[in-house]
Amino acid sequence: MTNLYVSMIITLTLIISTSAYITHISKATSPLHTLSILPLSPTPTALFAGSGKQGIFSPLVEAAKLTLGEDELKQLRADVIVKHSKVIGRFVDTSDTPFGRLALKKLFEAADANGDGVLTQQEIRDACEALGFTWIDDDKSKSLVERADVDENDVIDFEEFVNSTPKVLRTNLIRLAKKNGNDLGFLV
């Protein structure tokens, strides 16, 4: 009962902090695109503001430590990552719905730094970095573009983006969730 409750909160916090982070970066890098990219939380910016990721998690982790033993926490941490991955999977699976399409549109606009309607390899790399996908280096972003660039004009238009992004997002958001869990010493 308690385990379920705590893990639900943690899962929600993870997904909200991910979207808050994206929103924050979007505002920082592109004043024209001030809307929340992934409108999963009504007030993602408020949650993010002035807190940093540690601030978001630490009260929850402390509370969980008091409520559960260390061993249970370790098990819970594993469970949460699995559950979080499923939440991300479901979100990405909505990409052919109006909501998913809107989320992808916002993501595309935020990535398109010069607003010319297509994404270059550099814009994609910058966007990946803004999303926290720090493992996407020049080589990896180049191969992302090569795979997505169906008409082979060396840039990614919105249709190419829609067709390739859900899979890339799924893989990398899950990796980010795991990484954030580790960075935070999350439920260690």
Q: Answer for the pair 165, 144: CB distance below 8 angstroms, yes or no.
A: no
Tell me: does residue 149 bind Ca ion (CB under 5 A).
Answer: yes
Of 19, 110, 112, 177, the residue at the interface with Ca ion (CB under 5 A) is 112
**d(C-alpha 132, C-alpha 106), whole Å:** 17
| Nearest to Ca ion of 116, 146 (CB atom) | 116
Of 62, 116, 138, 183, the residue at the interface with Ca ion (CB under 5 A) is 116
What is the H or E stretch that residue 156 is in?
Answer: none
**d(C-alpha 112, C-alpha 156), whole Å:** 10
**d(C-alpha 24, C-alpha 188), whole Å:** 27
Total number of residues that touch Ca ion (CB under 5 A): 6
Tell me: does residue 114 bind Ca ion (CB under 5 A).
Answer: yes
- Would you give the binding string for Ca ion spanning residues 39-78, x where CB under 5 A is met? ----------------------------------------
- Identify the sign of the CA torsion 81, 82, 85, 86: negative
Rule CB under 5 A: which residues touch Ca ion?
Answer: 112, 114, 116, 149, 151, 153
